[in-house]
Amino acid sequence: MYEPVTNQQLLDVANEFGTPVYVYHAEKIAQQYHKLKDAFKGHPTKFFYACKALTNINVLKYMHQLGASLDCVSINEVKLGLKAGFEPKQILFTPNCVDFSEIVEAVDLGVNINIDNISILEQFGNRYGSGYPVCIRINPHIEAGGNYKISTGHIDSKFGISIHQMRHIERVVKTTHLHVQGLHMHTGSEIKDVNVFLQALDVLFEVARHFKELEFLDLGSGFKVPYKEGDPETDVVTLGAKLTEAVKEFEAEYNRSLEIWFEPGKYLVSESGSFLVKANVIKQTTATVFVGVNSGFNHLIRPMFYDAYHRITNISNPTGAERIYTVVGNICETDTFAWDRVLNEVREGDLLLFHNAGAYGFEMSSNFNSRLKPAEVMIKDGKAFLIRERDEFKDLLRNQIEVL
Ligand SMILES: *Cc1c(COP(=O)(O)O)cnc(C)c1O
């Protein structure tokens, strides 16, 4: 039985390790992984954890233990994955606008490579010919996802090779004898509608007919998780049933079996994460009551960058009277986490919990304002482990060279 983390466990973590702190619940990650796996048990399907969401080495190792594969967008993520114990063949490298040398390095490491640019495809073909298989990232021009910044399939997107460039792709593949083992697309994040995936799949089938040796079709990610109360989650059970059926039908026509690949990031780690901060001050102005916390967009930028909504609860005073607050950080910039939020009365020193903070939380943190990056903790089997120390003052000067 899956047991959610309790407020008491989180209060204990804050007590032991201080705040601000990110806390990840391992069993929640496992629950999400198994939900996906079960939904696709009708067809050989692999899940490559898109580790840009959260790269702590312990999270990577845990994913590996669960049986997940790994999607990486930089050569350093690839190296982290290898360090965490993934086999090269369990890693997919999906870079964008990187120097060709980074791709050569990935070939030397033996990982799967996803190419999203004709110029690179041509260089790859010239260098490796049929000697190293590739996957091609297609841009299907399907508009999808929660926010323009995280939507990658549209016409102005820098990602993928346009389906309208098929003739050119074929020319390069044919003249350089490339072995195309897979086709990929990733249309964006937070896709609620299962039909968007099916539409994307139809486009991939169309492209697949041009290649004879495919082993997999990679549908990227886009799984939505609920942030607000009442928010939908992508219905993976329906998705699994429909996609599986469509792929089986296509296999009959294509005359080869095709694995389905996915690259979930947010779906696996978002809900496992809690971000704990302390209310430094309550500041009443003529217009609102601010809660100023000991954090800011230097630690959690999603609300400011993507207009993302994170549920916030006061775990120090869960039965206090409900009042309306504007929750802000301590950064010298407008860094508003939430306007007009109903919270149980917040007193200075109370601990606030940001829910669903596992994905793109710590990972996008910075030292802006010369503030220190928070600690990270993993709760596993009911025990809390410190998995990253909080920055110290000396970290701000690391790599700086004093010449004056
Ligand atoms: C970011 C990214 C993902 C993961 O997206 P989520 O919304 O976090 O699931 C998957 N594939 C690629 C290529 C990505 O860039």
Compute, in angstroms, the gap from residue 388 CA to the centroid of ligand 1: 24
According to DSSP, residue 321 is labeled P
Regarding the beta carbon of 263 and ligand 1, being less than 6 Å apart is answered yes
* Domain match, 304 and 351 both: yes
* Residue ending a domain, choose from 264, 279, 312: 264
Mean pLDDT of 119-138: 97
Compute, in angstroms, the gap from residue 267 CA to the centroid of ligand 1: 10
Longest CA–CA separation in the chain, Å: 71
Task: State the pLDDT at residue 36.
Answer: 96
Domain that holds residue 112: 55-264
**Looking at per-residue confidence, does 222 or 318 come out higher?**
318
In a domain, 288, yes or no: yes
* Residue ending a domain, choose from 238, 264, 290: 264
* Domain match, 211 and 64 both: yes
Tell me the pLDDT tens digit for each residue of 137-182.
999 887 655 555 555 666 778 889 999 999 999 999 999 999 999 9
2 belongs to an annotated ligand binding site: no
Report the C-alpha gap between 293 and 308 in whole angstroms: 18
306 belongs to an annotated ligand binding site: yes
For residue 393, pLDDT beyond 60? yes
Written as six digits, the tokens of 64 are: 């590996």
Tell me the pLDDT tens digit for each residue of 314-333.
999 999 999 999 999 999 98
**10: number of Cβ within 10 Å:** 22
Q: What percent of the chain has pLDDT over 70?
A: 97
Tell me the pLDDT tens digit for each residue of 69-125.
999 999 999 999 999 999 999 999 999 999 999 999 999 999 999 999 999 999 999
String of DSSP letters for 255-313 = TS--EEEE--SHHHHTTTEEEEEEEEEEEE-SS-EEEEES--TTT--HHHHS-----EE
**96: number of Cβ within 10 Å:** 16
Regarding the beta carbon of 224 and ligand 1, being less than 6 Å apart is answered no
* Domain match, 140 and 185 both: yes
Task: State the pLDDT at residue 222.
Answer: 86
* Residue ending a domain, choose from 209, 235, 264: 264
For residue 204, pLDDT beyond 90? yes
Tell me the pLDDT tens digit for each residue of 332-361.
988 999 999 999 999 999 999 999 999 999
81 belongs to an annotated ligand binding site: no
pTM value? Answer: 0.96
**Looking at per-residue confidence, does 263 or 187 come out higher?**
263
Residue listed under structure tokens 């919270």:
343
Mean pLDDT of 3-16: 97
* Domain match, 106 and 196 both: yes
CATH of the domain at 194: 3.20.20.10
In a domain, 11, yes or no: no
CATH of the domain at 371: 2.40.37.10
In a domain, 23, yes or no: no
